[in-house]
Amino acid sequence: MDNKSDDYSKVEEDLLRPITQTGRDFYVTVAILLAIISVGVFAWIIQLREGLGVTGLNRPIFWGFYITNFVFFIGISHAGTLISAILRLANAEWRRAITRSAEVITVLVLFFGVLNIINDLGRPDRLLYTIFHGEFRSPLLWDVVSISIYFICSSIYLFLPLIPDIALMRDKFKGTRKGKIYRILALGWKGTEKQWKILGRAISLMAVLVIPIAVSVHTVVSYVFAMTIQPMWHSTIFGPYFVTGAIFSGIAALLIAMVIIRKSCHLQAYLKPVHFNNLGLLLLVMSLLWFYFTFTENLTSFYGAEPSHLAVFYAKLTGQYAPYFWVMVFLCFILPVAVLSNRKTRTISGIFLVSCGVIVGMWLERYTIVLPTLINPRLPIERGTYTPTWVELAITAACFAAFILLYILFVKAFPIVSIWEIKEGKEVGVEETAERVKSYLPDTVFEKKSGGLGANEINSPSKRENDHE
């Protein structure tokens, strides 16, 4: 037992280190981010005062950077909750170290998705009209509803598994002001049997609930485009296409976050190559799936050869937006497949590189969905061009910076790797997995070699199992 608690104190120490210790790098990073944010805030103030005239938007390019950001950020948000929920439900043991960092992304990034939409409004002061005077036939209102629900659910889903860890920190920081906050947040968690049971159930319930909501969110985001009658927006596959893209970019974002956390918080022992390998493979699968959708979508438009669709198609593939498009194809398909399908290059740094590429590529994908259609409206007489102004760039940069800042602050305030889940993994997971693996195999294997593979584990029940019985 002593040995074990030593183990745990090591785990606790490792995982709480980012909270207890603050290095110079932290301040430098925060300062830089704050600088970027303040430029963005300045730009935003200007935009609020002057109206959207300070952006590069025009007629007929009514949507630009902000909407791209919106779709992109909502996409990223799928990283977290969806992946974590799927992995939880699938009982994938390797999930334990990564779920939280994933869930945080969801909650934080959703906020910036919404912020970009508000930012895009000509009259942000009338935002609440969507509630007071909402017309439910508009897909934009579906968005409002589904994103709000998603935000609430994923916040709960983030918070629930956080409770035991908060309680741990409450105990750790007793007496300080920090401790007081943790005490409030811990909601009186004492770690009783009943509480664990409720928590377990709640987490499972939320995991089940969150998956359809997450899928619906990005489907509905895609509907914003798909429900119009504009060429190459009005597409039936936009729902699954967007969801795929969302998960794809989400995984990439998660991987980047993991790599950075691993490095900066010295969690090499927790975030192991196997995690990266597994997620990397998932990324590869999503890349292929994404390419399939992209291919289908564009081929259909090309083959149908409706003039208005073709105009958009060519703007994308050979015209003004071709550079973006082909960079996107390279970053989202060629590079990932090349790197990830090879075991030798599927290293942490390789995966980091690919993930960064995918993030950029997926942003470009949103951009090449939003803009080519807008510059080529159906009436062939009207044509437009779009160049973002510094205001849009600054606000976009500030969104990214603010997201990173909030993420860092989260890491500063809460353990980014779930402590209790790691503990649980050791105590329950190992056995359960053995049991499960055993259940996959034909019974004959065990009959021949009695007391073989899993016998030891079964005979050494964990503390919690003991409590159970």
One character per residue 200-239, x = contact with other proteins (rule: CB under 8 A): ------------------------x--xxxx---------
Tell me, what amino acid is at 354?
A: V
Q: Which of 209, 409, 428, 434 binds other proteins (CB under 8 A)?
A: 409
SS3 (DSSP) at 227: coil
Long-range contacts of 297-302 (CB under 8 A, 24+ apart): 297/232, 297/235, 297/237, 297/241, 300/235, 301/231, 301/232
DSSP 113-145: HHHHHHHH-S-GGGTTHHHHS--TTSHHHHHHH
- Binding range to other proteins, per CB under 8 A, among 136-144, 239-247, 416-424, 451-459: 136-144
At 307, list the tokens. 């003039």
Q: Is residue 141 part of the contact set for other proteins (CB under 8 A)?
A: yes
* Among candidate residues 5, 213, 7, 31, the one with its CA nearest the CA of residue 110: 213
Exposed, middle or buried, 222 (CB in 10 Å: 0-12/13-18/19+)? buried
What's the CA gap between 310 and 359, in Å, rounded? 28
Q: Which of 56, 179, 240, 319 binds other proteins (CB under 8 A)?
A: 56
- Binding range to other proteins, per CB under 8 A, among 50-58, 268-276, 341-349, 440-448: 50-58
Number of residues lying near other proteins (CB under 8 A): 57
Residues 112-131 that bind other proteins (CB under 8 A): 117, 120-127, 129-130
Q: Which of 11, 15, 16, 63 binds other proteins (CB under 8 A)?
A: 63
What's the CA gap between 395 and 401, in Å, rounded? 10
Q: Is residue 147 part of the contact set for other proteins (CB under 8 A)?
A: no
Tell me, what amino acid is at 435?
A: E
Q: Is residue 406 part of the contact set for other proteins (CB under 8 A)?
A: no
One character per residue 323-362, x = contact with other proteins (rule: CB under 8 A): ----------------------------------------
One character per residue 171-190, x = contact with other proteins (rule: CB under 8 A): --------------------
Of 1 and 128, nearer to other proteins (C-beta) is 128
What's the CA gap between 410 and 407, in Å, rounded? 5
Residues of the shown chain interacting with other proteins in the complex, contacts defined by CB under 8 A? 22, 27, 30, 34, 41, 44-45, 48-53, 56-63, 117, 120-127, 129-130, 133-135, 137-141, 144, 224, 227-230, 374, 377-382, 384-385, 409, 412
